[in-house]
Each structure stands twice: as C-alpha cells, then as structure tokens.
Amino acid sequence: MIDYRAELNPAQLEAVNSLEGAVLVIAGAGSGKTRTIVYRLARLVESGVPASSILLLTFTRKAAREMLERAGRLLGRQEECGGEAWVQGGTFHSFAYLVLRLFQPEGYGRAATVLDADDALGLLQICREDLRLGKGDRSFPQDRAVLAILSKSRNREQPLEEVLRRDFAHLLPHADNLAMLEKAYAVMKRERALLDYDDLLFELETLLRRRPEALNWCRRRYRYLMVDEFQDTNLVQARLAALLAGGEAGPPGTEPGGGNIMAVGDDAQSIYAFRGANVRNILDFTGVWPQARLIRLEENYRSVQPVLDLCNTVLDNAKSAYRKHLFTRRTGGALPQVLRPLSDLSQGEMAAAKVAELLRLYPPGEIAVLFRAGYQSYHTEARLNRLGITFRKYGGQRYTEAAHVRDVLAFVRLLLNPLDFAAFRRVTAFIRGIGGKTAFKLHQALQAGESAVLEKACLRYPELGAQLEFLDGLRLNPGPPALILRAILDHYQPILEQLYPDDYPRRLLGLEELAGIALNYEDLDLFAADLSLSEPDESVDNRPLSGDRREQVTLSTIHSAKGLEWEAVLVLDLVEERFPSRQALLREEDFEEERRLMYVACTRAKSYLGLFVPASLHDRRSGGRLPALPSPFVRELPPTLYEEWREGFLGLASPRPRSAVETCDYERSGPEMPGYEALAPLDASADVFADRPAAAALTPASSLGYCTHKLFGRGKLVRFMPPDKYQVHFPGFGLKVILAAYLSVEDKA
Ligand code: ATP
Ligand code: MG
C-alpha cells in the first residue's frame, strides 16, 4: 500500500483522490504537478481501475514513459510497464498514429506512412520545382522556411495569409504562390498516402468526428485521460482531449464519454506559442468542463529559497492571468550567481570551468547547461571536451537524422509503402546517374504501373535493378522486423562503405543499434513510425541508445528541458538579441513568451543557478566583437537577489598559453562566496576556440585540404568565403558554411 498522506501535501492529495470527473490542476513550476499525476495513476490502479484503460498524454514520449515507470515502481509492478495491459502513454502524435493505424482514414487506400521532417522537405521541394516557383528569385522563401510557415498556419489554425501578415509580412508578395504550393503539397501527400507530423492530429480529429466506431473504441478503451503540460497543447489537441473524454459530443451513434479527464499545467510555462500552442486551452478548461474541480498547488518542493525568489521575480513582471507566488520549505541555499564573461567565446571557457567546479559537489547527472538555441553551446562543448567532461546534448542532431540511419529506414519504408516517394528517392540516390528528376519520373511510372519504363531504366542502370530486386525479394518473404533489418544491413553495408569511406565503421555501430531496437518490435510499421515520430524537440542525441544518462552532464535547449530538474543549472547567453531573441524584442506577446522561457529555465534549478551574461558577442559579419546588452530579464532583477562575478581583462589579454586559473580572473562584487581558485586547469595547447581565430585558419587557402570541426568531425574544405568563412563538406552531414575560427585546418605539409 502506498502511504499517500506521507508522500503528498493536502492539495496534491485532493487531486490524487479525485478519481472521477474533470479536474484541472494549475500550479507553478516544481509544485509537484507531475508527481501528482504519477500518484494518481497509481491510485486509480489501486482502486481497481484496469491499468490499460488509463491514457496519459504528454509532451514527449520519454516523459510519458518515465511517468508510467514511476507509477509502476510505486505499485511494485514495474515489470508490467510498457506492456499492452499497463497504462498507455505517449504524445498526442503517437496516440494519433496508433488510432489511425487501427482505423484507416478515408481517402487513404492503405496504411499511410509518416514523413519525418527531412522527407517532408524533399516532398515540398518537388512540388515547388513542379510549379516552377522560386527559381532565380532570391526573395522566395527557402523550402525549410515554407514548411515552417505551413506548419504554423496549420497548428494555429490560421489561414496562410494571416500567418504571413502577422509574422512574415515581407513574404506577402508571394502569398498567392505560397497558397498554390500549400495546395500542391497537400495533394502530393494524399496521392502518395503520406502523412506529415501535423497531419496526424487533424486526421485523427476527422476520423473521430466522422466514424462513431472509432470514437466509441477510444472511449471504451480509455476511460481515464490525463494530460500533463496542458499549457503547451494546441487547439486541435485540446479538441481531441475533449472528444476523447466526452466534453464534446461525437457524431451520431457515439456513446457518451466517461468525463474523466485530468489536465495539469502552468500557464506561466507556456513556451510553444510559436508552434501553435494556445495557453487559452488551460484558461478555457472550465468552459468545456463546467463541473471541473480546480486545484492549485502552491508549495514548491524543488528549489531552495534564493533560487525561488529569483524565479518569482521573473514571474512578477509577467503579464500572467494567474498570479502565483511559490514558497518553499527548503531553507538555506546560496544566492544565484550572475556571471559576466568578457565575450561569448570566453563564456564557453567560464561555463566549462563552472561545470568542473560543480562536479565536486554534484554527480554529473545533476548538472545542466541550458540555452535557447543549439549553437549557443558550441564553445562550452569544446571546452568540456578539453576538460574531459562527457556530456549529453539534447536538442541537437538526432540519431534518426544521421544520413546512414535514414538510408536504412528508407528501405524499411519502401517495404511498407512502395510508393513512398521520399524513400524511393533516397534509395535511388545511391545509383550513379539517377538524380532527382529521373527519380521523380521513375516514381511516376511506378505509380501509373508502367512497368516497361522501369524495365528500360533497369537495363540502363543495372544498380537500379539490383535495388528493386532486393526490395521485391524482401517483400515476398517478410519476416520479423529484426530479420528484415539484418537483411537490409547486409545489403546496405557495401553501399555504406562506398558512401562514407572515412568513417563507415562508426556508422555501422550505429546501425547495429538500430538492428537492436528492431528486436523489440513485432510490427515493422510500428518500428518505422516510432523512429519517425520523435518530437521536433524530443531530447535525443547522437547516441541515445547506450550509456546511462544520469552519468553525464546535460546540455539542453530550454524547450527540451521542460518538466525536468537538476541540482545545478547554468543558463547561457543572457543578452539582448539572443535571449530574448531579436524578433522577440519587437512584439510584446513574443517578448512575454521569452520571459516564460526564462522562467522555465530558472525553475529547473534545485540548489544552484548560474546566469551567464557575456559582455560582448562575436559578430559574424565583421569577424570582430560587438558589445552586448544584458538581457532585460537580468537587468530587472534587484541586485540583492544574486551575486555577481566578472571576468577581468588581464586573463584574456594575455597572448601566452593560458590556464583557466589565469583566464578566469574574476572580480567579486557580491558578498562572500567560494572563489574560483579551485578551477581545474585547462589544456591550453591547441586553441581552436580561442577568442582570436587561429592565424592558419583565417588564411584564404589557395589549394584546399582538410579540416576538423568539434561537432562535425573531419571535413573537406570546398571553398573559402571571404572574409572569414569556409564552405566545408562533412561526410554524413553534408555541406556547411562555417566560420574559420571554428575550424582547425590541417597542416598540408
Ligand atoms: P514543472 O512545472 O517544472 O513540470 P512540477 O509541478 O511538475 O514541475 P514535479 O516535477 O512533479 O513538479 O515536482 C518537483 C520536485 O518536487 C520533484 O523532485 C518532486 O519529487 C518533488 N515533490 C513534489 N511534491 C512533493 C511532496 N509532496 N513531497 C516531497 N517531494 C515532492
Ligand atoms: Mg511537471
């Protein structure tokens, strides 16, 4: 038996004991909202509700999995977790996929394939080229930007033109062409039975509104619905929640819903408006559910008082609907620190040194470095590498985005959907002579059943014949996913060696992992969907499949850090135009969203919070440094709430090799605090990330050779782009334009 009284405060207990009806828990960060859900899951099961009739939806599948496991542990039934008979959990998207798979939506003759972001991009490009848009017109937005605009318009449920008017006024002259492109893209997807990420939610809604048997199935199967992070749901997600639980009537012939829904969230942490999240969902909950019980949690269990004081101040200045002032019983604790390095480059060094210092107090898994955008941590990464501190980066390149993994998945997808154009294109791209256009024509012929065209092509390109034969063979003799993967890997290995001669062994290891994952699946389509369904921000790094994540320091975007907590948290780049971003300075509502982001970042810290405010930023155009203005979120903090540390001139001006002890010549302006003397010395030899670009790296190369980049590895220099950049080809990552200062160019001698 779980002793709920010992584990929960009275407000939490009330939420946990409200087993029936609609409940809204609205409360600030760290007040135990997620904990409340976990205990309520346990309580429901304990009270006799079949576990499999509970559905938990949240922001990432990882978060859902963790919550289900915690509930399983509480009940001593952890071995059941993940099984069909246990509580079901995931994201709205993964849930949508599950239901769509059971009830194939109208208009799709067969199971639809889910496109990942890159495939969607490829598809859009074809539509654009088909319509001859943007050719020679540099003012026409890039495909990636177009996709983002289309996605915004869908998620916000605003017509394209309105989105353009609000956020992309400079693109209004292209409004008609963009609308044409939008349509062509939608037709293309439909014809080829492809769904992009956004489609999943809308297709599910259409299905539930049109087919009573589908909604009935959902309502019978899932009698209890719980949603965490409700403030970041978008309109269609809120409608889906209402439909599932019965807050909205279904089509004629549907049984009434059970009305058991618990939504949990914090309006002050709504940080996904840019992607269509609508904080009104949480504020309007009682409109949909007039009988809903509203529960507020006010005690914070996460942070020490000084950290909480700072967080409360950030929030006090927000224009929030629900005023919250959290208190904690965690007494003691040091003041948060504001750390002012001379530049964003030395910030990397200072942050890494701080991590080293914190490692004396906390295990690596209890330390996080947070930032707005992935690039902001590059310097810190390099410095951490230098110090030999391993870390996991969340929000960077994902495993399934690696080219070789996508190649192998393309075979899998062609098995599932022979007309999946994006996959077809990928597989034919291995073949010399077949470019995008030919691939498109071949695919058209394939669709039209013109086998003569394909036969002719196979004569012309024998390798094409080999690929298609391989696929046909596999399709005729299907087996369990693990066997199929094995066959594909055997087939793909020679291609891999040819494509990536310099690092195929490493890539092969990654593919072996993929084969390992396949072992857990019985259905090939679930395996494929799971790999394409990861959230845009789902926290996965290049090696998500091995190693214990608590053993490593975390580097993460703030968006990916939602809901998580660490003993020590560092936040980088708190200067104007970076945090808040430049665009956010223009419009109040965007600015307010940045403030909430700041609130989310600071409330991740349990005991230590360090805010980095570099005094200058590297300027790409001039190659020099521009002074930076501290973020308004730091400027508005009363100095009594933090202590301040400044980097002195002396250390950085020194031309000789430096150690951290010398460079981090901090001046103390706050009250008594431990000094930096204890910093671990840096290896000061190869200084790739020094504040001044290495002379060799800046010399325009007359005949170009190779270089190394901390993240992309070894690459071939393609051309020098004055004044300070190179275009480099990195195997596996493609062409990149990179500042010379970030490359170490290999000595050709
Ligand atoms: P966020 O808004 O960041 O998602 P949250 O409201 O979901 O935060 P939790 O993550 O559930 O908060 O809880 C924060 C921390 O406080 C966790 O470590 C949790 O275990 C702890 N905690 C919450 N409630 C209690 C309690 N009643 N007793 C002891 N610890 C608690
Ligand atoms: Mg939470």
Phi, psi of 230 (to 5 degrees): -65, -25
Residue nearest to atom 14 of ligand 1 (CA): 30
Of residues 676 and 731, the one with the higher pLDDT is: 731
Q: Which residues partner with 616 through β-bridges?
A: 627
The alpha carbon of 296 and the centre of ligand 1 are apart by a number of angstroms equal to 13
Residue 709, phi then psi, degrees to nearest 5: -125, 145
**Å from CA of 611 to ligand 1 middle:** 23
Output the pTM of the full model: 0.75
Q: What is the per-residue pLDDT across 35-74, written as a single tens digit (0 to 9) for each? A: 999 999 999 999 999 999 999 999 888 888 889 999 999 9
What are the structure tokens assigned to 317, written together? 């200045």
Q: For residue 735, is pLDDT > 80? A: no
- Ligand nearest the Cα of residue 16 is 1
Q: Is 8 in the pocket of ligand 1 (CB under 6 A)?
A: yes
Mutate to test the pocket of ligand 1, among 302, 566, 602 (most ligand atoms within 8 A of CB): 302
Which mutation among 38, 229, 282, 301 tests ligand 1's pocket best, with the greatest number of atoms within 8 A of CB? 301
- Range 613-639 average pLDDT: 84
DSSP-assigned beta bridge partners for residue 295: 25
From the CA of 30, which ligand is nearest? Answer: 1
Burial of 245 (0-12, 13-18, 19+ CB in 10 A): buried
- How many Cα atoms are found within 13 Å in the side-chain-facing hemisphere of 247? 25
Is 651's pLDDT higher than 80? no
The closest residue, in CA terms, to atom 19 on ligand 1 is 32
Least trusted range by pLDDT, from 53-62, 391-400, 689-698? 689-698
Confidence at residue 81, expressed as pLDDT on a 0 to 100 scale: 80
Does the CB atom of residue 302 touch ligand 1 within 6 A? yes
**Tokens representing residue 618 in the block:** 């590297």
Kindly state the average pLDDT of the residues 266-273.
Answer: 89
For 695, the enclosing helix (H) or strand (E) is: helix 695-698
For residue 108, what pLDDT band results from cuts at 50, 70 and 90? Answer: low
In this structure, what DSSP letter does residue 552 have? S
Contacts of 303 (CB under 8 A, 6+ apart): 30, 311, 328, 330, 333, 603, 605, 606, 607
Q: Which ligand is nearest to the CA of 266?
A: 1
CB of 37 closer than 8 Å to CB of 264: yes
d(CA 688, CA 743): 7
For 498-544, write each residue's pLDDT tens digit. Answer: 888 767 777 787 787 778 778 777 888 888 877 766 554 443 333 33
Query: Is residue 671 very low, low, confident or very high in pLDDT (cuts 50, 70, 90)?
Result: very low
Q: Whose CA is nearest to atom 4 of ligand 1?
A: 563
The two three-digit tokens of residue 264, written as one number: 């949990």
The secondary element (H helix, E strand) that includes residue 381 is helix 378-387
Per-residue model confidence (pLDDT) at position 528 = 82
